[in-house]
Structure 1
């Protein structure tokens, strides 16, 4: 019996490590250590560092600071974290990045909105029109530098739910809005931003 349990555990461990998604149905993914940043994400060490459980990104108007996962998000998932735009006007969560297209979910200080949009990303080109994209949905929210915000993103049955501090939220259908239904996770900033408590759960 013990031998059978051990074999099952090893099989699940192998299955988890070989999974093509950043999270599996057997566990939740929590970014806590620098070795996970190196193994699970495509990074530029000048743009993103992980220290004391805090992920810090640095970008500019050109180039943006970009961080992209090496594995895809699950089909149904929930992402939770806290973010502080210490010196940035734009912080963007790239969802379902695939073949240069992704879902834009972001906090935008200039317009004082949270936004869902249809984005494009060309990792070799920082020029205008090669990154970012059109706005589909927006909602006003007061956004400040040096303030922590709790972000929750949920995709379930192709329905996207995006909320900040559990009080301002947007929702849309991926299918009806012609948005990607699979792909990787990424982050974009045009200044300094700090992220802590990044957790990805699978449904």
Structure 2
């Protein structure tokens, strides 16, 4: 009898802890339907949209296209996808977005680096100082337009692992680097980008 009462007490807590996150321990989260994109992500539909199974973003040097999840990322998570920067130089994965602060993990063709940095994103503003932010860690990598790259991001026990094509990797401690430890997920482009095979799962 005590076990039944305990189960009844715990069940609502489990529901509360899972329903606000972008993934659960039971399944991977994927974007494969327009209904899911519209209901669970915030973006301008002219800038971010699905073409069959591919998420496409269209921005420009003066106006970066941004898409942001409505749900929180779990404490420990893994994100996998393939990306193709078809125009311009920047594609950025925004991690742990919280009160306009986030972790910058991005591919930057001008410098030919993958980068981890501290970011700021002021919604509705295209002013230079109200988007992006300082670089904390970077590693050289040859990056080109119209080429697919495999991206893997893992946050486990406050350690961030960011790798591209399983060959170039950056790592850091969120706590030691004073980076956001909770929040939402987003993507930014200053040109055109295609994303496919996106999965987000709890660890």
TM > 0.5 fold call: yes
Counterpart check, 1:114 vs 2:111? no
Once the two structures are superposed, the pairs formed by residues 72-151 of structure 1 within 5 Å of their partners are 72-151=72-151
Secondary structure of the 1:21 match is: coil
Gaps of at least 5 residues in structure 2 are: 1-10
Q: Which moved more, 1:123-132 or 1:187-196?
A: 123-132
In the TM superposition, what is the alpha-carbon distance from 1:18 to its structure 2 partner?
Answer: 6.6
1:178 is matched with 178
TM-score of the superposition, structure 1-length normalised? Answer: 0.91
In the TM superposition, what is the alpha-carbon distance from 1:16 to its structure 2 partner?
Answer: 8.4
Q: Is the 8 A contact 1:64 1:188 kept in 2?
A: yes
Give the 4+ runs in structure 1 shifted more than 6 A.
none
In the TM superposition, what is the alpha-carbon distance from 1:88 to its structure 2 partner?
Answer: 2.3
- Post-superposition CA distance 1:72-109 (Å, at most 9, x none): 10000000000000112000000000000000000000
- Post-superposition CA distance 1:142-181 (Å, at most 9, x none): 0000000000000000000000000000000000000000
TM-score of the superposition, structure 2-length normalised? Answer: 0.91
- Post-superposition CA distance 1:37-93 (Å, at most 9, x none): 001100101100112100000001121000000001000000000000011200000
Gaps of at least 5 residues in structure 1 are: 1-10
Distance in structure 2 (CA, Å) of the matches to 1:18 and 1:110: 40
2:44 is matched with 44
1:195 is matched with 195
Secondary structure of the 1:154 match is: strand
Q: Is the 8 A contact 1:34 1:51 kept in 2?
A: no
Distance in structure 2 (CA, Å) of the matches to 1:156 and 1:17: 18
Q: Is the 8 A contact 1:16 1:26 kept in 2?
A: no
